[in-house]
C-alpha cells in the first residue's frame, strides 16, 4: 500500500502543478490531482505527520481549485490568475514542498540516506523554482509586453517543478514501498 500511496501522490502532483489549457478549458483538472494526492497521502500518513498535513491541504484545495471555472474575470489579478487561483497555486507549491519534506523524514527513519538527500535537494529546488515563478509573475505584471513570454516561462517552471516532485515520489514509492529483506517469512521446511 505504501508504494501505491506514493505513486498516487506522484500522479496527482502533475495536474495540481501543471495547467494545460486548450480552448479555455484546463485539460488537467487540479481537483482530480488533489483527489489523487489525498488518496495517496491517506495510505502513507503513518510514515510521517507531514503526509497528514498533505492530506488535509489536498482536501481543502480540491474544492477551491474548481474556482478556475467560476471565478469572475480571473485575468485581472497578478496579470494572469485570480485571487482564489493564486491561493490554489500557492497551496499546490506548499503541498509539493511538504511532500518532499515528508519523503525526507520518512527516508531518514527508514535509513535510506540517498533518498533523504534527494528529497532535501528537491526541497531546495522547489524553493528556487518558486522564487523564479514569483519573479516571472512580477515582471509580467510590471511589463505587459512580457506577458506571453512570462506565461511560457511559468509553464516551463511549473512543469520542471512537477517533474522533480513526480520522480521523487515515484522513487520513494519504489524504495520505501519494498518489504524489508530481513522480514521475509521463512519457507516451510527450512531450518530456522
How would DSSP label each residue in 112-135? Answer: -HHHHHHHHHHHHHHHHHHHHHHH
- Please give the tally of structural domains in the chain: 1
Establish if 172 belongs to a structural domain: yes
Establish if 42 belongs to a structural domain: yes
pTM equals: 0.80
Q: How far apart are CA 12 and CA 68, in angstroms?
A: 18
Establish if 89 belongs to a structural domain: yes
Domain assignment of residue 133, given as a range: 2-178
Establish if 96 belongs to a structural domain: yes
Establish if 56 belongs to a structural domain: yes
Establish if 189 belongs to a structural domain: no
H or E stretch at 25: strand 25-26
Establish if 10 belongs to a structural domain: yes
Q: What is the dihedral of CA 56, 45, 95, 8, to 10 degrees?
A: -110
Residue 21's SS3 state is strand
Q: How far apart are CA 157 and CA 67, in angstroms?
A: 23
**pLDDT tens track, the chain, 192 positions:** 899 999 999 999 999 888 777 776 677 888 999 999 999 999 999 999 999 999 999 999 998 888 766 655 545 444 445 667 778 888 888 999 999 999 999 999 999 999 999 999 999 998 888 888 788 777 777 777 777 787 788 788 888 889 999 999 999 999 998 765 555 443 444 344
Residue 168: all three cell numbers together? 521523487
Amino acid at each position: 500500500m505504501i508504494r501505491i500511496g506514493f505513486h498516487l501522490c506522484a500522479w496527482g502532483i502533475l495536474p495540481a502543478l501543471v495547467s494545460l489549457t486548450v480552448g479555455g478549458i484546463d485539460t488537467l483538472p487540479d481537483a482530480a490531482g488533489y483527489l489523487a494526492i489525498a488518496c495517496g497521502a491517506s495510505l502513507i500518513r503513518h510514515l510521517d505527520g507531514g503526509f497528514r498535513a498533505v492530506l488535509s491541504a489536498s482536501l481543502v484545495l480540491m474544492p477551491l481549485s474548481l474556482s478556475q471555472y467560476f471565478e469572475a474575470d480571473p485575468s485581472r489579478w497578478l496579470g494572469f490568475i485570480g485571487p482564489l487561483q493564486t491561493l490554489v497555486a500557492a497551496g499546490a507549491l506548499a503541498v509539493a514542498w511538504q511532500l518532499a519534506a515528508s519523503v525526507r523524514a520518512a527516508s531518514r527513519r527508514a535509513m535510506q540516506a540517498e533518498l533523504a538527500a534527494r528529497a532535501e535537494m528537491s526541497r531546495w529546488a522547489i524553493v528556487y523554482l518558486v522564487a523564479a515563478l514569483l519573479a516571472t509573475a512580477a515582471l509580467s505584471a510590471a511589463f505587459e509586453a512580457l506577458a506571453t513570454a512570462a506565461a511560457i516561462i511559468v509553464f516551463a517552471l511549473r512543469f520542471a517543478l512537477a517533474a522533480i516532485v513526480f520522480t521523487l515520489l515515484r522513487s520513494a514509492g519504489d524504495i520505501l514501498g519494498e518489504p524489508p529483506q530481513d522480514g521475509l517469512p521463512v519457507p516451510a521446511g527450512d531450518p530456522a
